[in-house]
A = this chain, B = another copy of it.
């Protein structure tokens, strides 16, 4: 997968450990009966961080989200560690909030920090009783194994049906200091705006106020995770959490301006890369779909159209079948709710194998089926839509609908 290149930013390894002063670890503590699979992850900063988070818009919210929100409010946007488990979402449990608080206490005690500085997250089956005992029994092992290169172990611990770990980081210069921002994401199904994020953790060594982290995060989320759909189901446990510890040594960014923009661009590059990775690893996905809508009267119209196309089950099936069924693209724009003039729309499919224009000004144009087969034979397909009714644009990401998606979700609980 190609990363978006941007002058001044270099992609580096390290994920959530790319920034200075972050240690991480992941272990199996028993939530997952398969002892070879990590199910409990943690990362911790050497010093207290400024932090911010965004959460799912689902009315049904995981108890860990409630507790994380509480903690960030109580500390005025400070955090130092994250503890996260997979296999059980701790959602729709009568004692869920108590258990989530207990997880913070277990982590806080082991790390000798205030439990309110702990961000807690869970992912897995909804509505199953959650016990802290596995975590409590293995917390010393987890904390004892924290290292400055433990990012992958932590990432593996939060994976569910993910087939590959998803990590990315960038380095860049700010006030003459070398800075880093990196992140990890878990998520494969139950992914849809808003927030289409599942769990995403981002760390940086930049010094920046919590208020500005929140602002940058909210803005970037709109153009990245909120433009992603795997299956149209908005999860109950989605969260993106950003923690910045200031160890790169810059003067704290406390107002918008060039430094803020430099930080926000780093955040955008990392969150965009994770978004694309999430789409490509969508449950059962065979193809990564990228839909670019341009010529729109507003960003909202462009995004509404792009998301509707990416979300259309029928279109996703057509992509699985490598079928140039562009009628479903127009159909999805038509029911999206966006006010557009259908008779101005051009549609083109593109892959590394070539470009295939299929619709001009709302009507079909002849194309070679042979050429179509060639274009669709690749694993990354772009759907290019020009509305010809303005200057704005948006991109949405998703994946095809496959037998495997159905299989994975037919017996997820068991």
Contacts and interface: CB of A to CB of B under 8 A. Distances in A.
Interface stretch (A24-32, A241-249, A271-279, A309-317): A309-317
A191 to B, nearest CB: 10
Given A126-B331, A318-B409, A318-B410, 12 more contacts: A60-B333, A91-B327, A94-B363, A125-B327, A127-B364, A231-B314, A232-B311, A233-B314, A234-B335, A321-B409, A323-B411, A325-B412
A89 interface: yes
Contacts of A187: none
A326 B129 CA distance: 14
Q: Majority SS of interface residues in chain A?
A: loop
A319 to B, nearest CB: 9
Contacts of A234: 331, 334-335
Interface in A220-278: 231-236
A107 to B, nearest CB: 25
Nearest to A94: B363
**Copies of this protein chain in the complex:** 2
B58 A318 contact: no
A385 to B, nearest CB: 13
Interface string A378-410: 000000000000000000000001110111111
Nearest to A401: B406
Nearest to A126: B327
B364 A129 contact: yes
Contacts of A334: 58-61, 234, 236
B59 A317 contact: no
B342 A60 contact: yes
B233 A328 contact: yes
A133 B273 CA distance: 52
Contacts of A401: 406, 409
Q: Which of A93, A94, A313, A321 has the most CB of B within 10 A?
A: A313
B363 A93 contact: yes
